[in-house]
Amino acid sequence: MSDFHVYDTTLRDGAQQEGLNLSVADKLAIARQLDALGVGYIEGGWPGANPKDTEFFQRARTELKLEHAQLAAFGATRRAGLKAADDPLIAALRDSGAGVVTLVAKSHDRHVELALRTTLEENLAMIRDTVTHLRAEGQRVFLDAEHFFDGYRANRAYALEVLRTATEAGADVVALCDTNGGMLPTWVADVVHDVVEATGAKVGIHCHNDTGCAVANSLAAVDAGATHVQGTVNGYGERTGNADLIAVVANLELKLGRSVLPDGSLREATRTAHAIADVTNVPPASRQPYVGSSAFAHKAGLHASAIKVDPDLYQHMDPLGVGNDMRLLVSDMAGRASIELKGRELGFELDAALARRVTDRVKELESRGYTFEAADASFELLLLEEVEGARPSYFDVESWRVISDHAGLTEATVKIVADGVRFVVTDEGNGPVNALDRALRAAIEQAFPEVQQFELTDYKVRLFDEGHGTNAKTRVLIETSDSDGSWVTVGVGENVIEASWEALVDGLTFGLRRHR
């Protein structure tokens, strides 16, 4: 498989996802991550079609030092009635500096006649002329046969002729695009096999996920003879997204024994997926295969009992193979084995009696609305309380209160005793929780300056007895971070302020314990 191509289109097709907007700096940062992962090709965008993509290719010449990947520029075949040499959009592809150009071309006869408003013969001439011209200018050409599978079903002969025309003109790869995302794996396999047999071309695959089968369809295509696979990191893309390239590559390498990325690169998959999610500002999907935070998370007590004997009994692979890790979730479904393993993960060896006591307490607290599966810090504080007989305490709360007026001004007053000194602090904030957070921190940092390093990075509220409407009990999860990592605490109360206060206090207590 030395000629196997992994082609990433996150920066172009992935960027079409609703709510995802990438600056030029974002695209450059993502390209560096993709290159470090070891993909073969990075599609940078459509130069000439919009100023942002044109600027990306201009800056890439001096700012991108790629070690593994080649940069590809995306564009369309020349317009009907023009020569490729005279089309300004083709000129933008020539001038992009990219060594590879990926041309999108119509392969569905109805799209040619209704969308391009030209003849089937002219469409073939547009493909031939554009590929020949770019090849003569020294660029390699890949062809994306748009709507290929639908076009193949409607008019097989013409769809195949599009591929033959591109190949004979010099295209290195013809990628079959399931543009509408409506295919299933066996259908894809049959078509790809027929295309390989009928044309002898190097065939690629580009799948969308509208049937939930983008990864499976990509694998089916490779099994049928495709040697070029396209996708996006984290499955970004229009509608339901594109094939998740990391899942495709992980399946090829780990399940099918293919050599796809440079040796050892797959161990960077989780870090890369999350780093790119930080740039796109789209939260990582916890249940994403291989790289999701829940991909190797175990909650049921039965699973934990088996994992205690052998982790492979309930895992399809070693998570380290993709740079992920096994997690044990503490919940009301947890048995003693879950608690013992979680305790060991946190550095505690629990005997049977202590594990039983912690298990019973967790289940009782969860019945009152607490949740610990996403709040490891609160669970660790609970565990310390059971093991050591007391919860870590760096300050005593004397009182707190919040005042909000009709104009929206919110003021919080906190009275605490820390390191033997009484502190009374009043502060204002954007709402009651922010005001409390600011006042509490301002008080504590006078005794413990390291609190200045702590930052509240996420805040979630959940009503867990919704039938009571505005009188429902509230659960709050707060994520706090410092330069070394982050931690999550949970609070439950009759109202959102009470629940938030509990989570805030636990968050600062846990942070101080980390530092002290």
Residue ranges per domain, the chain? 5-280, 297-364, 395-515
**Assigned CATH for 5-280:** 3.20.20.70
What pLDDT is attached to residue 466?
54
Most confident of 15-29, 203-217, 327-341: 203-217
Residue 337 has pLDDT above 80, yes or no: no
pLDDT digits (tens, 9 = 90+) for 231-280: 999 999 999 999 999 999 999 999 999 889 999 899 999 889 988 988 88
Contact 120, 113 (CB under 8 A): yes
Query: Which residue did the predictor score with more confidence, 17 or 329?
Result: 17
Q: What is the mean pLDDT of residues 351-369?
A: 81
What pLDDT is attached to residue 240?
95
How many separate helices (H) and strands (E) can be counted in the chain?
Answer: 17, 16
Contact 291, 267 (CB under 8 A): no
What pLDDT is attached to residue 470?
54
Q: What is the mean pLDDT of residues 360-386?
A: 82
DSSP letters, 49-83, are TBHHHHHHHHHHHHH---SS-EEEEEEEPPPTTS-
pLDDT level of residue 371 (50, 70, 90 thresholds): confident
Nearest 5°: the CA angle 300, 301, 304 is 95
Residue 333 has pLDDT above 50, yes or no: no
What pLDDT is attached to residue 278?
83
Contact 178, 188 (CB under 8 A): yes
Q: Half-sphere exposure (CA, 13 Å, Cβ side) for 113?
A: 6
pLDDT level of residue 114 (50, 70, 90 thresholds): very high
pLDDT level of residue 293 (50, 70, 90 thresholds): confident
Per mean pLDDT, which range of 113-122, 355-364, 375-384, 505-514 is the poorest?
355-364
What pLDDT is attached to residue 332?
44
pLDDT level of residue 305 (50, 70, 90 thresholds): low
The 3-class secondary structure across 358-426, one letter per residue, is HHHHHHHHHHCCCCCCCCHHHHHHHHHHHHHCCCCCCEEEEEEEEEECCCCCEEEEEEEEECCEEEEEE
What pLDDT is attached to residue 1?
36
CATH of 395-515, one of 3.90.380.10, 3.40.190.80, 3.90.420.10, 3.30.160.270: 3.30.160.270
pLDDT over 70 percentage in the chain: 91
pLDDT digits (tens, 9 = 90+) for 415-443: 999 989 999 999 999 889 999 999 999 99
In the predicted model, what is the mean pLDDT of the chain?
A: 88
Same fold, 5-280 and 395-515: no
pLDDT digits (tens, 9 = 90+) for 122-177: 999 999 999 999 999 999 999 999 999 999 999 999 999 999 999 999 999 999 99
What pLDDT is attached to residue 369?
82
pLDDT digits (tens, 9 = 90+) for 187-201: 999 999 999 999 999
